[in-house]
Amino acid sequence: MRTTVGIIGAGPAGLLLARLLHNAGIDSVVLEGRDRAYVEQRQRAGILEQGTVDVLRAAGAGERMDREGLRHDGIELRHDRKRHRVDFPALTGGRSVMVYAQTEVCKDLIALQLKEGGPLLFGAEALAVEGADTDSPRVRFRQEGHEGNDDVLECDYVVGCDGSWGVARKAIPAELVQVFERTYPFGWLGILADVAPSHDELVYARHDRGFALLSMRSPSVSRLYLQVPEGTDAEEWSDDEIWAELERRFETADGWRLERGPITQKSVTPMRSYVHEPMRHGRLFLAGDAAHIVPPTGAKGLNLAVGDVVTFAKALTHQKDTGSAELLDAYSETCLRRVWQAERFSYDMTTLLHRAPDATPFEDRLQVARLERLATSTAAETDLAEGYTGFPFE
How far apart are alpha carbons 121 and 186 in whole angstroms? 37
Catalytic residue among 137, 197, 295, 296: 296
How far apart are alpha carbons 118 and 154 in whole angstroms? 15
How many C-beta neighbours within 10 Å does residue 273 have?
A: 18
How far apart are alpha carbons 275 and 179 in whole angstroms? 6
Catalytic residue among 100, 184, 331, 388: 388
296 is catalytic: yes
Counts for the chain of helices (H) and strands (E), in that order: 12, 20
Catalytic residue among 276, 300, 314, 354: 300
The length of the chain, given as a count of residues: 394
Secondary structure (3-state) at 152: strand
Give the closest residue to 340 by CA, choosing from 213, 169, 99, 178: 178
Alpha-carbon distance values, 45 to 91, 126, 301 (Å): 24, 24, 7
Catalytic residue among 100, 184, 204, 225: 204
Pairing outcome for strands 47-48 and 70-72 = unpaired
Give the closest residue to 296 by CA, choosing from 241, 226, 371: 226
Catalytic residue among 22, 72, 79, 281: 72
229 is catalytic: no
Contact 168, 162 (CB under 8 A): yes
204 is catalytic: yes
For the purposes of burial, counting CB atoms within 10 Å of the CB of 197, is it exposed (0-12), middle (13-18) or buried (19 or more)?
A: buried
**Catalytic residue set:** 72, 204, 296, 300, 388
